[in-house]
Amino acid sequence: MMEEQKQSSGIPVSGLDSGRFRKLKIFIQTTNGLFSGYTLCQQQQRLLDALNKGGFSGKLQSSSDFLTLVEADVVTSEGEPRRMDIAFIRKSNILFVGEGNSEPAAAPSAAYPIRRKKPVQAAISLAQTTLTGNMHSEMWEELQDALNRSDQFIPVTDVIFNPALQGGIKHADFVAVNKDHIIYVGK
């Protein structure tokens, strides 16, 4: 049996195949604060799929109720920032997850065939903030159809936050929004 190793991200792994897994830099807005750090996805897995179908825990076990975050910087509504080596964040408490700069993903495979979608400009109101950006729907869908899909997290691109998030984050290229926390969506 191989001895447990640590990558620079602090994720304990046994014989990690770097051709199979990649680190994703993310930030997570929860009901009580902002988390930032790294999560782990398969090379061919998108963040959205890790949220909707399950990602990997620190021991590379599939996890669907919690999102694993390592080297986590946390700023809660109570104030003082703090650092955690690892945090398991319950997905039901996540308002949205944004992607930061990460290791590049492998070239897309047949697992995710490219389908043409149309961008739909939308304002998404949550209790603490409003996100304005592009939702993406199938060419024949309307905005309501995109909202009524079975997935828990919906993708939004080119997002502007109003007000800005803690730490001054005003924009993100990609955000996955938890539908359970949406108050309304307008266009």
- Say if residues 55 and 153 touch (Cβ distance below 8 Å): no
> pLDDT tens digits for 128-173?
899 999 998 776 777 888 888 888 999 999 999 999 998 789 999 9
Query: In the beta sheet, which residues pair with residue 84?
Result: 72
> pLDDT tens digits for 63-104?
578 898 989 999 887 777 899 998 999 999 999 999 976 444
- Say if residues 71 and 85 touch (Cβ distance below 8 Å): yes
Among 79, 77, 81, 94, which residue's Cα sits nearest to residue 177? Answer: 94
How many other CB atoms sit within 10 Å of the CB of residue 150? 5
- Say if residues 11 and 55 touch (Cβ distance below 8 Å): no
